[in-house]
Structures are given as structure tokens and as C-alpha cells.
């Protein structure tokens, strides 16, 4: 986000607003994280792990509708990003525990504040959706 053309509009630098604070080289990265946040399963898993560490099967239970494939993929992503930890115990019945890292927890907090906004304003949005005033 934060439109970053401006290359051909030297005079437009003043128009860019607060977005100018975000270096262009971090833009793609920001989008990656934003995609992750917007991802249905990522947030579902993180939320499920918020209360306490969970095993694979428990995650499947606590993330309604997630498939094995997506659970595995999502978990791997979150692990690689350092948002969750994966601990495998070499036992007779294999056991693996997933847990939130401090980083993951802090992300969840931020997202929670966003959710709070949505809950606060979902009335207004619903309103606009029903009365889509085509001002033409």
C-alpha cells in the first residue's frame, strides 16, 4: 500500500502523507505480513494457540473447518516467521506441541485491536452495504 509511484511526479512528494515513513523496500514485506494477517487460517490458528499450547489434533479441533493440508502449511509458515514454535517429542505415540512465541502473541494483540475496530464499526458498514447509495 501507500502508493509509491511519485517517481514521475517530483512535485507530489508532499501529497504522500504518513505513508512516506514506510521505506519502499519494506513495502513488499509489509504486504506479506498483511496477507498473513488477512489469511483465514493463520489468525484462526494463532487465536487457538492464544490460551495455551496445543497439539496437532487439538489445533484441528480448535480451528473449525481447517484441513490437514492447510493446518500443516499454516503451521509451517507461522513457525518460519517465528510466530509459533513447534516442539516434537520422540515418543511412542508421536506428540507435537505448537505454542505462541512472544512475537506471535504481540501480533495477536495488534490484530485484536483491529478486530475491535471492526466490531465497533460493523454497524456502519452494514448500513452502507444495504443502502448502497449510487451517487451518479
Contact 29, 11 (CB under 8 A): no
Applying the rule CB under 7 A, the residues between 49 and 68 that interact with DNA are 55-58, 65-68
Contact between 26 and a copy of itself per CB under 8 A: yes
Contact between 72 and DNA per CB under 7 A: yes
Nearer to a copy of itself, 30 or 72 (CB): 30
SS3 category, 100: strand
Contact between 99 and DNA per CB under 7 A: no
C-alpha dist (Å) from residue 60 to 47, 69, 81: 13, 11, 21
C-alpha dist (Å) from residue 105 to 27, 31, 83, 130: 23, 20, 8, 36
Give the C-alpha separation, 86 to 79, whole Å: 7
Contact between 95 and a copy of itself per CB under 8 A: no
Using CB under 8 A, list all residues that contact a copy of itself.
1-5, 9, 15-19, 22, 26, 29-31, 33-40, 43-44, 46-48, 50-52, 61-64, 79-82, 85-88, 103, 106-107, 110-115, 117-119, 121-122, 124-129, 132, 135-136
Amino acid at each position: 500500500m501507500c502508493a509509491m509511484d511519485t517517481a514521475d511526479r517530483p512535485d507530489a512528494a508532499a501529497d504522500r502523507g504518513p505513508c512516506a515513513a514506510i521505506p519502499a523496500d519494506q513495502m513488499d514485506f509489509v504486504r506479506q505480513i498483511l496477507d498473513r494477517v488477512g489469511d483465514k487460517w493463520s489468525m484462526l490458528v494463532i487465536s487457538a494457540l492464544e490460551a495455551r499450547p496445543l497439539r496437532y489434533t487439538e489445533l484441528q479441533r480448535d480451528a473449525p473447518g481447517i484441513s490437514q493440508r492447510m493446518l500443516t502449511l499454516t503451521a509451517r509458515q507461522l513457525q518460519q516467521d517465528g510466530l509459533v514454535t513447534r516442539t516434537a517429542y520422540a515418543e511412542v505415540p508421536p506428540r507435537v506441541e505448537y505454542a505462541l512465541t512472544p512475537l506471535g502473541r504481540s501480533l495477536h494483540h495488534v490484530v485484536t485491536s483491529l478486530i475491535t475496530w471492526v466490531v465497533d464499526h460493523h454497524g456502519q458498514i452494514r448500513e452502507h452495504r444495504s443502502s448502497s447509495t449510487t451517487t451518479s
